[in-house]
Structure 1
């Protein structure tokens, strides 16, 4: 693997990613308070509202293969490695969401590509959290 690509791959984080931070900033600006990365819940959701029993997962379009998204391309090299890895990520996402739902939680997935359009994401988050109209 070329050194430049190796450095790029090392820079990928599990938590506190740029899209996740953007969602958290937006939620906070809307007046919501939340918990982060509850390890006692299946899938360790990114943003958790315990009293509402709602969780938000912020997924990268490439890593979680967002269907129909131009960022969810498959790598041209080493497909014997990447195809199973990306398929495992998607299966793990499905299992975590099913387990959360079985525990009585509602789950919302926010995709990395959706974070750039705050005008659409804000109302969607507000509706998911039970506030169809703007607060304040």
Structure 2
């Protein structure tokens, strides 16, 4: 698991590149110290208080593409469940601090993800 990246994953880089080409400027992997805990969204629009998290299908138990581990299930099942619980806790922390949370699955086409972010950014204006 040491080789698994926390930041700069392929889906995240693709989305960041599309956002940059569209003229948006953002912060990457910014640690937010909130009341109740810390959160590290993948992409952050600080002034607009928008946090974007790009979730991998396996690691965050995607309802469409998430797969159940077949080897060492006693380790992986609780680990993946803790990831999902942490995601919900982080969403709650961000929202209670006044942030807008956008979660994007890795399988979502980049055009769709970019449009979703654009809609939220335009709604904030």
Normalising by structure 2, report the TM-score. 0.89
Deviation at 1:48, TM superposition (A): 0.3
Root-mean-square deviation over aligned CA pairs: 1.3
Unaligned runs of 5+ residues in structure 1 are 1-8, 132-136
Secondary structure, counterpart of 2:107 in structure 1: helix
Question: Retained in 1: the 8 A contact 2:51–2:102?
Answer: yes
Question: Retained in 2: the 8 A contact 1:64–1:90?
Answer: yes
In structure 1, how many angstroms separate the alpha carbons of the residues matched to 2:111 and 2:15? Answer: 12
Per the alignment, residue 73 of structure 1 pairs with: 67
Query: Are positions 1:55 and 2:51 aligned together?
Result: yes
Unaligned runs of 5+ residues in structure 2 are none
Query: Are positions 1:122 and 2:118 aligned together?
Result: no
Deviations 1:18-69 (A, max 9, x none): 1110110011011100011111343200100011110100111100001122
Which residue among 100, 115, 121 is the counterpart of 2:94? 100
Per the alignment, residue 111 of structure 1 pairs with: 105
Which residue among 71, 79, 82 is the counterpart of 1:85? 79
More strand by share: 2
In structure 2, how many angstroms separate the alpha carbons of the residues matched to 1:16 and 1:61? Answer: 16
Normalising by structure 1, report the TM-score. 0.82
Higher-Rg member (1/2):
1
Give the paired residue count. Answer: 119
Extract structure 1 runs of 4+ deviating beyond 3 A: none
